Chain A
Amino acid sequence: MPDRNNALALDREILSEYVDGQLDDNARVNVATHLAEHPADAEVVDEYRRQTTAINAAFDPILQEPVPDDLIEIVRKGRSGSLESDGRDGNRAKWMLMGVAASVVLFLAGIAGGWYYRGYQETARLNAMVIQQFVRSASNAYVLYDRDTDRGGDFRSERMKDFVQWMYDSFGDNFTPPKLEAIGFSFAGGRLLPTAVGPAAQMSYRDEENRRVTLYFVKGEKTEYASDMSAFKPQRFGKFDTFFLQDDKRSIYFWQRSPLKYALVGEMEQSELSKVTEDIVGQLFGKDDK
């Protein structure tokens, strides 16, 4: 037995589509014929049309308003390639913080002191550069900040407890330090390293053969993956995407999960580092449903 309410709802959807011109020619003719014979439905169609007219009448005055100068100014600055903002405009700032790809902000922050982006820049290419810059920093930090040649850093502690406290102060609940004893690595120290995008944390782990891996991470808005991540080999762990890169002797895994970007670096084969990555990703994101 057909459900009357559902049938009525379906009919009304079709009347809606008719009003909006979303039906193909055949269907439209059928409905028009139906309306000619069913005045109650024809009245519904008229009411839908009256609604549309009233809605347009209510909102049209906005279309006629003079456009505020500051909005035109944005487009003009965009055209000349010099869109600039210091985020001081009160309410405007709220939207702008969300509106700007923060990865662009981060990348250029060290250059000009303020921040700006050029309208003609290819966002996609810029994003790829941001990621590669980050991975390169992680790789360099692996080489430079070897435990045996201590060049210092803003923070250094081989005691997990101190490091965890500092981590919590910096990153809050967003990060829990991975423990790698199960795969033979013990925590060997943590560092806070200054970068153009703010402090990066580097956690070092060593195994019994004195092989070292470092987990390097920084806080910032997620960088959208450009179509050109061709320098990387993607690898999936469960439902989680990572990207692999070989830099000289170092194998590197990169991934991100808001609000952190991560790079795991080690001087070993990809297959070896892959096991460490799998363990870390499982600990960091094991509870994710996605």
Chain B
Amino acid sequence: MTDFFNDLEGEIPHLRRYARSLTKERDSADDLVQACLERAISRSSLYQEGTNRRAWLFKIMYNLFISEKRSQARVVRLQDSLDPDRHVSVAASQHHSVELTQVGEALDRLPAEQREVLLLVALEGMSYEEVAEIMEIPIGTVRSRLSRAREAMRDNFKVEGETRAG
């Protein structure tokens, strides 16, 4: 059992990186990592030795992330229904890039589900099957979202290179 915890500690930098790619902002990313670690520890007996531990952890983290996004959306909808004249700040949904680089800003322009697939494949090196498992989507959806993401990035990235519009 101690191997599980040693390995888990070794995964923390990767969990932090993946969390940052999801949440953009450092504090909430580390909050997400904390919740992920706690849930992983409580489910340690459910992890099958020999299977991909990182994919198992990323799935836990992605589920937590999506649940929080949904409950935030519910809060916003509830607020809207209670006070339709309330100005909803669009800025709330735009986080500044993890790194203020061209690729960071290009990633930000992608629809969330495309970005999430692209990051799991290009950044975290997950196989398409692992991505399908983590995000609970069909493997065909993984392929099409990934392909659309890469094509959109070709436009975003190039444009960034040519002009630096504000």
Contact = CB atoms under 8 A, between A and B. Distances in A.
Contacts of A55: 103, 107, 118-119, 122-123
B150 A58 contact: no
A112 interface: no
Contacts of B101: 54, 58
A50 B32 CA distance: 29
A71 interface: yes
Nearest to A17: B143
Interface in B5-34: 5, 8-9, 12-14, 16-17, 20-21, 27-28, 30-34
A50 to B, nearest CB: 8
Contacts of B8: 75, 78
B104 A71 contact: no
Interface string A51-81: 1101111110111110110111011101100
Contact of A59 (B2, B99, B150): B99
Given A58-B98, A70-B34, A98 B68 contact: yes
B113 to A, nearest CB: 16
Chain A, interface SS category: helix
B79 interface: no
Given A92-B31, A100-B38, A56 B64 contact: no
Contacts of B28: 91
Contacts, number: 156
B144 interface: yes
A67 B68 contact: no
Given A13-B147, A54-B157, 15 more contacts: A17-B143, A55-B122, A58-B103, A59-B99, A62-B17, A62-B98, A71-B16, A71-B34, A71-B37, A75-B12, A76-B5, A94-B68, A95-B34, A104-B42, A123-B42
B147 A16 contact: yes
Interface in A7-66: 9, 12-13, 16-17, 20, 22, 44, 47-48, 51-52, 54-59, 61-65
A107 interface: no
A13 B141 CA distance: 11
Given A59-B21, A67-B12, A13 B35 contact: no
A95 B72 CA distance: 12
B67 interface: yes
B108 to A, nearest CB: 11
A117 to B, nearest CB: 5
Contacts of A22: 127-128
B46 A123 contact: yes
B64 A99 contact: yes
B44 interface: yes
Contacts of A85: 38
B134 interface: no
Which 10 pairs between the two chains have the least Cβ-Cβ distance?
A95-B35, A99-B35, A78-B41, A79-B5, A54-B103, A52-B122, A58-B99, A62-B17, A13-B147, A119-B41
A75 B32 contact: no
A289 to B, nearest CB: 18
B135 interface: no
